[in-house]
Amino acid sequence: MAIFAVFLDRDGTLNEDPGYLGDPNLVKLLPGTGEALSLLKNEMGFKLIVVSNQSGISRGLLSKEMVDTVNNRINKLLSAYGVSIDAFYYCPFHPDFSTKEEAECRKPSPEMIFQAVRDFTIDLEGSYLVGDSVSDIECGINAGLKTILVRTGIGEESFSVLKKQNKFPTFVAQNIIEVSSIIKNDKMEKTN
């Protein structure tokens, strides 16, 4: 049976983005995140995989342990909704602070998605990428995924930039709750 995934950006998509989030006590899920992810995973059977740029590590503002602690906190908060993220992938590099080769994992590169495909045998054709930034949507397009731009985080500004570049996400959602409805409807259309 094919394994499908919803690839998710983290900050600004699932949780509030205070900038270089390293303190687990500052993690605040955006409204509806738990319910939406529970629907996607428990009712629709998607793997939930976070792909995020965490250049704060190469900038010296965060440690890998801090990022891991924040990721663990997100799963702890999600456990109240009977759901968890299956895997967190992040790129700790930035071209200004790392070698060009190291920084190749950064979105808009689809490298983290392709790594998850290898790790979980994911079928990209029925999978989605959800995010609030231009690099998220470009990453999804580069991986051949259907893309959903959320208007939370920096989604509004990103939509304007993407429009100017004539790079349109497959769907636009107000928030993560609407994302789950869009994916459900899209899947139902496929089966009818």
* 5-8 and 87-91 beta bridge pairing: unpaired
pLDDT given for residue 149 in this prediction: 98
CATH of the domain at 173: 3.40.50.1000
The whole-number pLDDT of residue 94 equals 94
Is 11 in the active site?
yes
Q: How far is CA 63 from the centre of its chain?
A: 20
Residues of the chain with confidence (pLDDT) below 50: none
Question: Measured between alpha carbons, how far is 53 from 107 in angstroms, rounded to an integer?
Answer: 7
Tens of pLDDT, residues 158-167? 999 999 999 9
- Active-site residue, selected from the candidate residues 9, 17, 132, 136: 9
pLDDT of residue 191: 74
**What is the tally of structural domains in the chain?**
1
Q: Looking at 11, 17, 132, 136, which residue is catalytic? A: 11
pTM: 0.97
Q: Provide the strand spans (E) within the chain.
A: 5-8, 47-53, 87-91, 128-131, 146-150, 171-173
Q: Which of 180, 189, 122 is nearest to 148 (CA)?
A: 180
User: Which domain does 177 fall in, by range?
Assistant: 5-191
58-66 long-range Cβ contacts below 8 angstroms, 24+ apart: 58/92, 58/93, 58/94, 58/97, 58/98, 58/102, 59/20, 59/94, 59/97, 60/97, 61/20, 61/22, 62/20, 62/22, 63/22, 64/92, 66/22, 66/23
Which pLDDT score is estimated for 1? 83
pLDDT value for 189? 86
Give the torsion through C-alpha atoms of 177, 43, 184, 166, to 10 deg. Answer: 60
